[in-house]
Chain A
Amino acid sequence: MGSINLKQVTKDFGDVSVIKPIDLAIKDGEFIVFVGPSGCGKSTLLRMIAGLEDTTSGNIEIDGQDATDTPPAKRGLAMVFQSYALYPHMSVRNNIAFPLKRAKVSKAEIEKKIASVTKTLNLSDYLDRKPGQLSGGQRQRVAIGRAIVRQPSAFLFDEPLSNLDASLRVNMRLEISELHKTLATTMIYVTHDQVEAMTMADRIAVFNAGIIEQVGSPLELYNTPVNKFVAGFIGSPKMNFIAVEPTATDATCCLGIRPEHITISTTSGTWPGKVGVIEHLGSETFLHVHVEGKATFTVKAGGDCPYVYGDNIYLSAVENKMLHFDAAGITLPQQHASLVAI
């Protein structure tokens, strides 16, 4: 059990409104990822769900029960912090046992639970060490262990992997996904990392300045973003935007095209341009192409890209892959877009 329902939830710090009214229904067992630019209120909302931050107005329901004013420990949620927040004076064993001891679980029961958790997380060899004597990845695992051992109805992660190096991050990402599959517990996961969001999430919620712009599956957000913000935020490298003049029949103010939906030709195309910096990643290549009178385009090409700095080339968009945005940045319907393309 672990459904979480946010109903018109808001948060003010003094007269700054950090969370504007938010509605969000998180289903039991779902892996939902919060993404958004820095300072948009992701951590704040997560802490409100955990009960560490008061709710200014609105309701938080956990398992159908109103939990808006329930103290953190009574909500049955567990949180993994970015700084791990391990207790530095306690051994790994005591760190993991701490929530159980507070809940007055019997000694034998605690031993059993610790054994099973440390086995799952490969921590058995470190039980008597202090957190200061562990590597970043091991600390992260202890933090996760401390969360799992309480068998919460939902896990809250606040950028849990941002302090780890790239390769460890890939490993831990897989471990957390694996954990989600085996435990089948609701997880709310805050991240800055595009790859984490796209690969781990059942659904992604894109935040911007205290509101949710769009909620949907990763591919839904990628293919049919509701507005220019989501289109630009999801996907790496970013979508290219081209400003156009709206006409009497067509409200389009801006066109959006993803780097992989642009074809390159040496002879003809929609936009003539000059090749700038080229980033070779082995399996693929990103070209930054300066187009006269427009912006710089990012174009994705295959690994064996023949172009060099300064080449003159032509770019064109793959048909029907272009997104149209109106003056307010709202995505215009697809049929309309294809009509214009003709």
Chain B
Amino acid sequence: MATSNSRTLARLMLFPSVVLLLAWMLVPLCMTLYFSFLDYNLLTPGNNAFIGFLNYEFFLTDPAFFASFFNTILLVGGVLLITLGGGIGLAILLDQAIWGRNYVRIMVLAPFFVMPTVSALVWKNMLMNPVNGLFAHFATWLGMSPIDFFAQIPLLSIIIIVSWQWLPFAALILLTSIQSLDREQLDAADLDGAGPFSKFYYIVLPHLSRAITAVILIETIFLLSIFAEILVTTSGGPGYESTNITYLIYTQSLLQFDVGGGSAGGIVAVIIANIVAIFLMRLIGKNLED
């Protein structure tokens, strides 16, 4: 888009899709915003009076809000940590010339194709079940008492399940990035006397920084709204131990039929997501430039 002529043309042609997207986003957002100021409960139909910021006050001062806020941060942070660490390791492994590499790559990708509800059910009933689960059998075989994952470490269990789903995504993005690394740089490092660790730290890791940034940004957006895994496994419990913001909004608006309170929670979630996005872009966004 070099000339002013082509710039104008580009804007003109982008116009319809931008309008459509805006409408698509703005209409629900405005409706949510509107509901969040109303006393709107489905159990008590009637006047739907305007009550100002009361819904927000209730939502933000609810102890469940703080619990779920920190749970959300732990969930996102934990999954990011595991998927990035594991993803880098897997990507390096998959980049080696091993026999049957193509099949291994497809198998590694498989978890990404499984629906969140299904994978959560598989983990819940086949792996983490304290009586019949594989882990429980393994623990008894070792002579230890099996862990009741969803009662004892509910949030960590969910982190493990979600990490399992997102690991392939991270590994795939990082693998393509590793493959675009100029092999002559590694050869040069070999001649310069760099060992495997130096090569990883000084050459591979800086090369991956862009892909790592992309993985963090994309995963964060999706991980902020984890829902199905929680619903299927712990239903947010015990107590609020595995409730995140998304799940809290669900319990507020759907389980308590409080549309107004749920809407206020939704708006809070949008604001939190934006704060996180701005924070992330400031922190690591510069990696995506140049």
B184→A102 contact, CB < 8 A? no
Q: Which of A72, A86, A88, A89 contacts B191 (CB 8 A)?
A: A72
A9→B184 CA distance, assembly (Å) = 23
The yes or no answer to A50 lying at the interface (CB within 8 A) is yes
Q: Determine whether the beta carbon of A85 is less than 8 Å from that of B188.
A: yes
A87-B202, A87-B206, A102-B192 provided; 9 other pairs, C-beta below 8 A?
A72-B187, A79-B187, A81-B188, A85-B182, A88-B185, A88-B206, A89-B206, A99-B193, A103-B193
Interface of chain B residues 149 through 191 with chain A (CB within 8 A): 182, 184-185, 187-191
Total contacting residues, chain B, CB less than 8 A: 18
A79 touches B202 (CB 8 A): no
On whether the beta carbons of B187 and A81 are closer than 8 Å, the reply is: yes
Task: State whether the Cβ of B67 lies closer than 8 Å to any Cβ in chain A.
Answer: no
The chain B residues found within 8 Å of chain A, CB to CB, are 182, 184-185, 187-194, 198, 202-203, 206-207, 209, 290
CB atoms of A87 and B203 under 8 A apart: yes
Secondary structure at the B interface, as helix, strand, loop or mixed, is: helix
Task: Please tell me if the beta carbons of A73 and B188 are within 8 angstroms of each other in the complex.
Answer: no
- The answer to whether A50 and B184 touch across the interface, beta carbons within 8 angstroms, is no
A78 is an interface residue with CB less than 8 A from chain B:
yes
A-side interface size class: 20 to 34
Flag if B198 contacts A102 (CB, 8 Å): yes
Interface residues of A (CB under 8 A from B): 47, 50-52, 71-73, 77-79, 81-83, 85-90, 98-99, 102-103, 132, 146, 150
Q: Closest residue to B206 on the A side, CB-wise?
A: A89
- Which residues of B lie under 8 Å from residue A85 when comparing CB positions? 182, 184-185, 187-188
Q: Is the CB of B191 within 8 A of A102?
A: no
Partner of B188, one of A79, A89, A132: A79
Greatest chain B CB density within 10 A among A71, A83, A87, A150 is at A87
Which residues on A sit within 8 Å (CB–CB) of B192? 73, 98-99, 102, 146, 150
Across the interface, do A77 and B202 meet the contact criterion of CB distance under 8 Å?
no
Q: Determine whether the beta carbon of A78 is less than 8 Å from that of B206.
A: no
Least Cβ distance of A28 to chain B in Å? 20
B207 and A89 contacting across the interface, CB-CB below 8 Å:
yes
A142 and B189 CA atoms in complex are apart in Å by 15
B185 touches A52 (CB 8 A): no
In the complex, are the beta carbons of A52 and B187 less than 8 A apart?
A: yes
The 8 closest A-B pairs by CB, nearest first: A73-B193, A89-B206, A99-B192, A85-B184, A102-B193, A85-B188, A81-B184, A72-B190
